[in-house]
Structure formats: C-alpha cells, structure tokens
Amino acid sequence: MDIVFHRCAGIDVHKKTVVVAIIATRDDGSVHQETRTFGTMTADLLDLSDWLTLHNITHVAMESTGDYWKPVFNILEGNFEVWLINAQHLSKVPGHKTDVGDAEWIADLLRHGLVRPSFIPPVAQRDLRELTRYRSTFVRERATLVNRVQKLLESANIKLSSVATDVLGVSGRAILEALIVGQATPEQMAELAKGRLRNKREQLTKALEGRVKPHHRFVLTELLCQIDALDETIDRFDEQVKAYCLPFEEAVALWDTIPGIARRAAEIIVSEIGTDMTRFASADHLSSWAGVAPGNNQSGGKRRRAKTPKGNQTLNEILTEVALAASHTKNTYLSALYHRVAARRGHKRAIRAVAHAILIIGYHLMLRKEPYRELGADYFDKRRPQATANRLVKRLQRLGYDVTIQKQPETLAA
C-alpha cells in the first residue's frame, strides 16, 4: 500500500492522558516507530509538541473524543497539520482494543491516507461559535424557566397562558407582579393589560380568578428573578457576539435577507459554517454535513426509505427553527414549498425540505456575494403553467364540473 505521509503521528485522546504513536521514515528508508504517553496539562502538551518536533513529524491525527481533543489541538495547531478524525472511520477488529493499539492504528491509517479530516474552523470562527453556542444554552434555560412559570400558574388555577400569548410580555409581567403582591382583584389585574390584550379584559378577569397561596408567590418571585438574571446574561452575550461578528458582518447580512432568518439565527449559521463555501465540494455536500440532506439507501436498483444522516446538531436545530418561521411567511417561495410538500408528505418532512432549501439558498448567496431574491409564492405554478392548469381542471372535474379553459391573450405593451 502506498505511503502518503512519511512522518506522522496518531493520538489516542483521554481526559487525563494521551497516548501518542509516531511512524517516521528515515532517509535510509528504515522506519522508526515509537509510542509515549503524556498528560493533558498544558506543560505536558508542550512537551508532546517538542517531542513531535524532535522527530520532524508533519501530520498528526486524533479521534474526536468529546471535548478532550480541544486542548491537544490548541497546542499542536500552529506547528503541525492536525487532522481530527470521525470515530466511525476508525473501527478496528473487535477484541484487540488498547490505548497503544488505538494510537498505532490511527497513525497507520494516516500514513497510508485512509482517513479524511473533519472540518475545523479558523480561530476567529471557533471563538464566535463558542459564544453563540453558550448563548443558545442560556436561551434554552430561559425557555425552561418560562415553562415552569406557566406550570406554577396552572397549579394555582391561574389560566393566564390561555388568554395571553406571551405570559412574560409587558402585560403578563405586570399581572405577575400584581399576583406576587397579592392585593389586587382579578378585575384590577385585568386592567393592567396593554395593547390588543385590553380587548380580552373580560376573559382575563376569569383567567386570573385562582387559588394563589403564599408558596406560589414565593416560587414565582424566585423564577422571575432567575429569568431577569438570564435576560441580562443574554444581553451581554448579544453584545459580545456582535463584536466578534465584525469580520463576518457581510455574511450575517446576506443570511439575514432570507425569509425566516433574523439576526440572531444568521449569527449562529455563520458561526457554524463560516464564510468560505469553497471548503465544501458542493451545496449537497454542505447539506449532508449539516444533517438536512435526504437519506440515500439504494440496492439492487431499488430506492428504499432512508433516514436523514447525522450532522452538525447546532446547525440542524437552527435551520429547523428558521424553516418553521419561513413556513409562516406570506407570499414567499419558502412558504409555497412548505405547503407543497406538506400536502403530500406531512408537516415534519415539509419542514425538513424547507430547512434543506434554506441552506442551499444560503450556500449560493455566499458564493455569489449577493442578497436573496424572492421568487414569489406562485413560483411553482409559473414554472409549469400547463401542468398546473391540468391539475386544477382535474380537481374541478372530480367535483362534477364540466370545465373548458382558454388562455387569455397576452397584454400588448403600450
């Protein structure tokens, strides 16, 4: 088997130790192999870097084990070409697994070019990605607390969520503060409603007639304090993300032009895939990496049902969210795509199709450096007008109508 890299190393990564195996071809053609174990403290990893440099190692491969690979990558990144390998691509013969054996196996696969490196973003993008992911964590925690508030209100016979769309909006927050004080009647609390919610004051009065006890007020106070603290934290994260987004501002603005995508979603998408689309072989390759591409299962000339492949979970989640938002937009291509697929395949598959379409659109926008251009809700009808007309005629005929169609003459230009 041909040798691709003559001086390489394989690393088996663990929390407290890393096992490193090197394979180096000398000038006389002989092969030097050696295995050593290092700690994972920064000083130990610097010793590892010096040891690899001493043997003139050029390429290093390691398995993507949780987050334990990150400290190793941070130290070796500037001095060697470091490959992060998908664990599914490193399977060995069962019954022969040891740390030393794993390191030697990784080094041998790398030496013969039998593995592919995973995509690791540049430093600036990694920093932005870490910020957006932590911000998303706090946003999810806030949503959990809001759900707990609604659960607490239900236990106190308060049906505020049945009338108000946002329990923690301006009106909802004022009503909750009044509940905590416990001195206002349901009618007085209903008068605290703002905007369109004032039209539902009679319903609010009925919804706010509950059985609020002292422990309900105590728990509600603590939940609102935690929500306020998280709101402040998320605001600070927004400021940091905005500062780190300055090098990516053009890309964020382009993604923001797609229906269903707001500023925060655009920041997350850019932090995950970056701005250089040339690193992906095609739009289909990007959608497969993101985990929104259709599955492929073909055998014997027959296509079978296949699951969507696993991909970038964070990117997958945000694309699903923006697809849901895009499906509710009016007079847009994406909403038309949703209704077209949902009629045949159901809601979930339609959302997946819209998420896939959004990613493909964004890929081409980034390549062309131009904003999104709306195709319109009638795009599919105009693409094949005769087929659309035939379909509608058949629907009318099934309802018992005798239909004759005639195309209108085109309007002459003045």
pLDDT tens readout for residues 158-217:
999 999 989 999 999 999 999 999 888 999 999 999 989 999 999 999 999 989 999 999
Backbone phi and psi for residue 44, each to the nearest 5 degrees, phi listed first? -65, -40
Q: What is the pTM of this model?
A: 0.85
**Does residue 404 carry a pLDDT above 90?**
no
- Identify the three-state secondary structure at position 153: helix
Q: Can you count the helices (H) and strands (E) in the chain?
A: 16, 7
Percent of the chain scoring above 70 in pLDDT: 97
**Does residue 413 carry a pLDDT above 50?**
no
Distance between CA atoms of residues 115 and 385, nearest Å: 49
Q: Which residues contact 92 (CB under 8 A, 6 or more apart)?
A: 101, 102, 105
- pLDDT of amino acid 139: 96
DSSP string across 167-210: TTSHHHHHHHHHHHHT---HHHHHTT--GGGGGGHHHHHHHT--
> Bridge partners of 19?
12, 37
- pLDDT of amino acid 242: 95
Q: What is the DSSP letter of 224?
A: H
Taking alpha carbons only, the member of 343, 342, 296 closest to residue 323 is 342
407 vs 103, residue with greater confidence: 103
- pLDDT of amino acid 293: 84
**Does residue 103 carry a pLDDT above 70?**
yes
Distance between CA atoms of residues 38 and 46, nearest Å: 10
Burial class (CB in 10 A: 0-12, 13-18, 19+), 21: buried
Distance between CA atoms of residues 382 and 386, nearest Å: 9
> Cα dihedral angle (167, 170, 176, 181), rounded to 10 degrees?
180
- pLDDT of amino acid 131: 97
